[in-house]
Amino acid sequence: MKKIITGVGSYLIEQGLLDKTGELILSQTNAQRAMVVSDENVFRLYGERLLNALSEAGIIAESIVFPAGENSKCLQNFEKILFKLSEENFSRSDTLIALGGGVIGDLGGFAASCFKRGMTLIQIPASLLAMVDSSLGGKTGVNLQRAKNQIGSFYEPVLTICDTDLLRSLPEREFKCGMGEIIKYAVLFDRELFYTLLRGNFDLSQVIEKCAQYKTSIVKEDKFDRGRRQLLNLGHTVGHAIEVLSDFEISHGESVTTGLCVITRAAVEKGICGKETLTELSEMLNKYGLTEYTGFSVNDVYDVVLKDKKISGNELTLIVPECIGKCKMIKIQLTQLKDFLKAGGLK
Burial letters 301-310, b for 16+ CB under 10 A, else e: bbebbebbbb
Of 96-104, 146-154, 242-250, 293-301, the window that binds a second copy (rule: CB under 8 A) is 146-154
Selected from 203, 224, 271, 335, the binder of a second copy by CB under 8 A is: 224
List beta partners, residue 96. 35, 121
Closest separation in Å from C-beta 99 to a second copy: 22
Is residue 151 within the footprint of a second copy (CB under 8 A)?
Answer: yes
Q: Are 107 and 66 contacting, i.e. CB atoms less than 8 angstroms apart?
A: yes
Q: Kindly report the number of other CB atoms within 10 A of residue 343's CB atom.
A: 16
Q: Are 196 and 206 contacting, i.e. CB atoms less than 8 angstroms apart?
A: no
Is residue 335 within the footprint of a second copy (CB under 8 A)?
Answer: no
Is residue 8 within the footprint of a second copy (CB under 8 A)?
Answer: no
Closest separation in Å from C-beta 314 to a second copy: 8
What is the rounded CA–CA span in Å between residue 334 and residue 207? Answer: 36
Residue 164 neighbours by CB under 8 Å, 6+ apart? 13, 14, 15, 131, 204, 205, 208
Is residue 168 within the footprint of a second copy (CB under 8 A)?
Answer: no
Selected from 6, 123, 135, 149, the binder of a second copy by CB under 8 A is: 149
Selected from 144, 204, 330, 343, the binder of a second copy by CB under 8 A is: 144
β pairing state of 147-154 and 159-162: unpaired
Closest separation in Å from C-beta 174 to a second copy: 26
Closest separation in Å from C-beta 49 to a second copy: 26
Is residue 195 within the footprint of a second copy (CB under 8 A)?
Answer: no
Selected from 63, 69, 80, 82, the binder of a second copy by CB under 8 A is: 82
What is the rounded CA–CA span in Å between residue 258 and residue 290? Answer: 7
Selected from 71, 93, 169, 297, the binder of a second copy by CB under 8 A is: 93
Closest separation in Å from C-beta 145 to a second copy: 7
Of 82-90, 204-212, 213-221, 266-274, the window that binds a second copy (rule: CB under 8 A) is 82-90
Is residue 318 within the footprint of a second copy (CB under 8 A)?
Answer: no
Q: Kindly report the number of other CB atoms within 10 A of residue 249's CB atom.
A: 10
| DSSP conformation class of 211 | H
What is the rounded CA–CA span in Å between residue 60 and residue 153? Answer: 27
What is the rounded CA–CA span in Å between residue 1 and residue 38? Answer: 24
List beta partners, residue 326. 323
Is residue 304 within the footprint of a second copy (CB under 8 A)?
Answer: no
Of 205-213, 272-280, 305-313, 317-325, the window that binds a second copy (rule: CB under 8 A) is 305-313
List beta partners, residue 63. 36
Using CB under 8 A as the binding rule, the residues of this chain from 94 to 133 that contact a second copy are 113-118
Selected from 27, 55, 86, 286, the binder of a second copy by CB under 8 A is: 86
Size of the site for a second copy (CB under 8 A): 36
Closest separation in Å from C-beta 17 to a second copy: 25
Burial letters 315-342, b for 16+ CB under 10 A, else e: ebbbbbbeebbebeeeeeeeeebeebbe
> Sign of the C-alpha dihedral, residues 80, 81, 87, 88?
positive
Is residue 30 within the footprint of a second copy (CB under 8 A)?
Answer: yes
Chain residues in the site for a second copy (CB under 8 A):
30, 32, 75, 79, 82-83, 86, 89, 91-93, 113-118, 139, 141, 144-145, 147, 149-154, 224-225, 306-307, 309, 311-313
